[in-house]
Amino acid sequence: MNLRAVLEKVLPESLRGKAGPALGRTMDRLAVPPPGLRAGRGAGARSWTWPAVVVLQPGAPDAAAVAGTVAVLQELAGRLEIRPVLVLDTPHFAPVRRAGLAADHVLDPGEWARRHPDVPYAEHLRERLGQLRRDYATAQLVTLPPQGAGALDPEELAAMLAPTPRRAVHRVWQRLMGRFEGAIDRSTSGA
């Protein structure tokens, strides 16, 4: 009998409906990185509990500039055991998706000014980046130049992306919680 069947036997339907969202919120509050977050093609199940890093590449001029970053991030993800989330303010998402990495989006300064001319862009960006750090349960945020990772020294970039050293007990706790949530996700369904 799998976990879903057990839950269905033990919990009444009304409670089951609330249990799923409650679990998601609890894990979010515990700052456990979302299990399953993509780490690039070929990363495999080993990457399930790797820490996330938010990588911002504002003003990428074209898809090639993003593709260059993606190639570097793919290599570093496996080497450093991290899951980079590439955040763009331009429409060049295709290379990120093709590589099996996670992408996210922030409004660019021009779009922000059109929508909210009275609010400084910096204020919005600060708030949005805080939200991204919370979403992916990471304190690490690396900002790249518009040309992308290729414009930086590879070892300096690796040093910036390397996960913050944590106490062993913290790493074990995060890994256990990630595996627990992942197991629940695999054995139950929901949208």
Partner 1 sequence: MLGDPASPDGATGGGPDGCPVLFVSSNGAGMGHLTRLMAMARRRGDLVRPLFASMSQAVPVVGDEGFSWEYIPSRGDLGIGPRRWNVLLERRMTALLARERPQALIFDGTFPYDGVLDAAATVGGIRLIWSRRGMWRPALGSRQLRRSDRFDLIVEPGELAGSADRGATATRADALRVGPVTLLDADEQSTREEAAAVLGVDPDRPTALLTLGAGNINDISSDLGLLVSRLLDVPDLQVVLTRPMIADDLARFGDRVRGVSVYPVSRYFRAVDLAVAASGYNAFHELVQFGVPTAFVPNTSTAMDDQEGRARWAEEAGVGLCLPQVTPPQVDRVVSALADPVRRADLAAACRDHARPNGAGQAMAAVEALLGPAAVEGSRR
Among 8, 28, 75, 81, binds partner 1 (CB under 8 A): 28
Read off φ and ψ for residue 57, nearest 5 degrees.
-125, 80
Nearer to partner 1 among residue 105 and residue 170 (C-beta): 105
Nearer to partner 1 among residue 67 and residue 157 (C-beta): 67
Which amino acid belongs to residue 190? G
For 107, 123, 132, the CA distances from 110, given in Å and listed in that order, are: 8, 14, 20
Among 8, 16, 23, 75, binds partner 1 (CB under 8 A): 23
Binding pattern for the stretch 95-114 against partner 1, x by CB under 8 A and - elsewhere = --x----xxxx-x---x--x
Among 59, 93, 142, 160, binds partner 1 (CB under 8 A): 93
- How far apart CA 164 and CA 160 sit, in angstroms, is 9
Strands (E), 7-158: 52-57, 83-88, 102-105, 141-143
> Is residue 94 close enough to count as binding partner 1 by CB under 8 A?
yes
Answer whether 95's CB lies under 8 Å from 70's CB: yes
> Is residue 34 close enough to count as binding partner 1 by CB under 8 A?
yes
- How far apart CA 22 and CA 129 sit, in angstroms, is 25
Contact positions toward partner 1, by CB under 8 A?
Answer: 20-21, 23-25, 27-28, 34-38, 91, 93-94, 97, 102-105, 107, 111, 114-116, 124, 127-128, 131, 134-135, 181-182, 184-185, 189-191
